[in-house]
Amino acid sequence: MKQFILFAMLGGVGTAGHYLTLILLVQLVGMAAVWATTVGFMVGALINYFLNYHVTFQSDKTHSEAMLKFFIVAVVGAGINMTIMFFGVNIFALFYIFAQLAASFVVLLWTFAANKLWTFSVNVQQKILPEE
Digits of tens for pLDDT over the chain (132 positions)?
899 999 999 999 999 999 999 999 999 999 999 999 999 999 999 999 999 999 999 999 999 999 999 999 999 999 999 999 999 999 999 999 999 999 999 999 999 999 999 999 876 445 555 554
In whole angstroms, how far apart are CA 117 and each of 10, 59, 68, 73, 110? Answer: 18, 13, 15, 11, 11
Q: What is the pTM (predicted TM-score) of this model?
A: 0.84
Query: What residues have CB less than 8 Å from 106, skipping those under 6 apart?
Result: 80, 84
Contacts of 17 (CB under 8 A, 6+ apart): 40, 43, 44, 47
Using CB atoms within 10 A of its CB, is residue 108 exposed (0-12), middle (13-18) or buried (19+)? middle
Q: Tell me 32's DSSP state.
A: -
CA nearest 6: which of 120, 127, 125, 123? 120
Q: Using CA atoms, how far apart are residues 47 and 22, in angstroms rounded to an integer?
A: 15
pLDDT of residue 13: 95
Q: What is the pLDDT of residue 128?
A: 52
Could you give the CA distance from residue 21 to residue 11 in angstroms, rounded to a whole number? 15
What is the Cα–Cα distance from 41 to 108, expressed in whole angstroms?
12
